[in-house]
A and B are shown apart, each in its own frame.
Chain A
Amino acid sequence: MSGIQTTFVRGLILASVILFASVAQSIEISARIADNKLIVIVDDIKYPNSIIDKELRSGLPNDISLILSINQQEKKIIAIRQNYQITYDLWDEIYTVKITKNTVANSTRRLKSHAELMAFINRIELNSKEAFAQLKTGMTYQLRGQVMINPVETERIDKIRAWIASSQGHAIDPKAEKHAVVSLSSPSSVHSSPTNLDAKTIINQGKMLENIGSARPRFQKLFDQILEQYITSDQVPALWHSQVSTQRVNLTSLRSEK
């Protein structure tokens, strides 16, 4: 295979990966009005198998949250969070799904198989009277929906940051000052002339015993990913998010939806 062909194939693979990655995170959102309620259905959620397979069968509670907001000209009118807390029972081998809306417990479902669970979480339905009450005739709104797995509260992030600072920080390297090549460029390097390389100065010369500059591997770990989301975006940090799906709606269009 020639170099150009190889480059083309690599480019194609890269493009496919990027395309797949973006498609994998997108969700479908549809809305309608019935019985004076806004009914929003989110489906076609491509959950990552690596997370779903491990986490949902872990026996520990896992949260899948839908965060829905209604905006008018970028101003948020209402936001609703519907949460499915899923726990796998190791003995009965069933899934219990506790549904809460804005932290208020709503109902509990028991699902007998993984397939049943996947069907349930792949189509999230949210009904809200409060959201319907906010909608006015003749106005256009933006519906924004996003699904996430195991969102992390701000308090938990702060707690772990405090733990990092108190238990991991201040890695010391007693001789880093002397041996780090960067220190050659430090102001102290010009001090060292042959005149002061006597016995005493070898001990005292620039010996920052509490040097805190020990470099460490910096591959992105779980907490780094969470922290980056927390710092760089206004989204709720989570183990996984879908893309934010947006739809323009008004009362007429919502009423005509079946």
Chain B
Amino acid sequence: MKIRLIGATAVFGLFLEIALQSTSVFASEHEFNENSKPVLIIDAITCQGNTSTECSFVTKKYYQQIGDVLNPDEIADAKLRLGTLIQFKSVNIHLEKGYQRDHVVVVFDVNEASNLQYELGIGYDYTKIKSTATDGKKSRYGLNGKITNFNFLGTGKELSFSFSDARDESEYESSTKSVFIDSSENYTEVWQQEKSTNNSDDYALSLSYYDPYLLGSSYYYLAAHIQYDKYSYTRNIYTNVLAQQPSNTQSTAYSRANKYNSQTLLFGRRFGRYSYISLDVVTNNAGANQTSYGVSYGWNTEDDALFPTQGSVFSTRVSEMRGDYGVNLQYKEHVAVGLNRVIMFGGNITLNESNNYCNACYLIVNNSVSASIFSRYSSIKPIDKTMGTYAGWYIGFHVGQSNISKDLYKYTFAGINAGYTYQTATMIYRFSLAFNQQENN
């Protein structure tokens, strides 16, 4: 009897435990259905509306894989990531039924934007040059254009073609006094006046490629650039020697034309939130073939490249070519002083040290230091933000000094500049004017 009682108790206990377990299972299932998000498995990830964009370019912004449990937060993140890209006007994401119940296909429905952007710029610079013996003036007319495809091969890579033409016209006048002593020890003062007119034309064509996501990486980037330069230069010198009878006037003409090719390859990595470091190699066929190697480091927190209203830019580059070294540092900062009104200020310093003798150089440069500070006031007008139409003008100044070959050629410069920029969804127009004064010491 006792054994039966124990057995009955055990059986009852077992049933009770099963019953309790069953209840807890049901309770948890019930709770799951009511309060948890439904579990959906991703069967496929596809795209719609991508006529010129690779689907993989779109889906790489979504950090889930086939077979994963769908996470709506990841989809919300992906939608915002895609909502930052210039390749798309809009992106909608929806689910479709998968191969079985609770299996889904994630569909990215994109509305592609125009991937082409055109740029056209015109500029004029006037520079007045003054020294103890020479007065001069120089005008520079510039024209440039650029076409960029921001979605080259449908993968978010960039390809751009540019042209530019910069024409310089300058005039220099100098007068020097020389003293001659003849055999009778008579002193003769000879004044020599020299006037030169210089015309140069620098015409360039270039092709640039930029891969912001090298091999699909979020951090590494690659840029390549090929440029063809045609440079022509004409100089006419009129020399008039006074105090000689008759007055001796000579005219000398000098001209040269050169063609250069240069190629640049740059490999970089972004890090932190705004910083980068990169390595570059530049080769050219100017004179003998020359190759320079550079390392750059910097950051950029500007909120826009064309119309920045806040942020700073720091860049530094150290380069080496055949034993010559160059260092360039630049810093600029944008400070908002009102709604769409910005003051930018900054500085730039360049150091070059050369150990080689240069036969072709008009001026032999052993080392040089150039430093300047600049500031600019800008006013920006968002005309139609939805369509991406903006306009802005600026006025600024700069002042600095260059010292070449240990005071052999030293000058200070200052200038004011102004410009107007107009941007539409596919076009950028730029106009700029500058007046500069250069004083040679």
Footprint of B on A, CB under 8 Å? 54-55, 57-61, 87, 89-91, 105, 108, 150, 152, 156-157, 159-160, 162-175, 178-182, 184-204, 207-210, 212-224, 226, 228
Contact = CB atoms under 8 A, between A and B. Distances in A.
Interface string B272-305: 1110101010101011001010101010101011
Nearest to B83: A222
B266 interface: yes
Given A162-B273, A217-B425, A185 B434 contact: yes
B78 to A, nearest CB: 10
Contacts of B231: 197, 202
A204 B90 CA distance: 42
B86 A184 contact: no
Contact of A59 (B94, B140, B170, B317): B94
Contacts of B300: 169-170, 212
Interface of B: 34-35, 37-38, 72, 75-77, 79-86, 88-97, 101-102, 104, 113-114, 117, 119, 121-125, 127, 138, 140, 142-144, 146, 148, 150, 158, 160, 162, 164, 166, 168, 170, 198, 200, 202, 204, 206, 208, 210, 212-213, 218-219, 221, 223, 225, 227, 229, 231, 233, 235, 260, 262, 264, 266, 268, 270-274, 276, 278, 280, 282, 284, 286-287, 290, 292, 294, 296, 298, 300, 302, 304-306, 313, 315, 317, 319, 321, 324, 326, 328, 330, 348, 352, 354, 358, 360-363, 365, 370, 372, 374, 385-388, 390, 396, 398-400, 402, 409, 413, 415, 417-419, 423, 425-426, 428, 430-434, 436, 438
A207 B282 contact: yes
Contacts of B287: 199
A130 to B, nearest CB: 23
A14 B169 CA distance: 51
Contacts of A174: 208, 223, 225, 264, 266, 280
A219 B402 CA distance: 42
Given A160-B77, A174-B264, A185-B433, A194 B117 contact: no
A68 to B, nearest CB: 24
Nearest to A92: B101
A124 to B, nearest CB: 22
A193 B127 CA distance: 10
Contacts of B89: 219, 221
Contacts of A197: 200, 202, 231, 233
B84 A160 contact: yes
B72 to A, nearest CB: 5
| Residue from B119, B208, B360 with most neighbouring chain A CB atoms (10 Å) | B208
Contacts of B76: 150, 152, 156
Task: Identify the 9 closest CB pairs spanning chains A and B, nearest first.
Answer: A222-B83, A59-B95, A181-B121, A219-B388, A185-B417, A199-B286, A58-B94, A185-B434, A181-B123
B127 A190 contact: yes
Contact of B117 (A89, A163, A217): A217
B438 A190 contact: yes
A198 B200 contact: no
B204 A179 contact: yes
A7 B231 CA distance: 53
Contact of B37 (A61, A166, A178, A180): A61
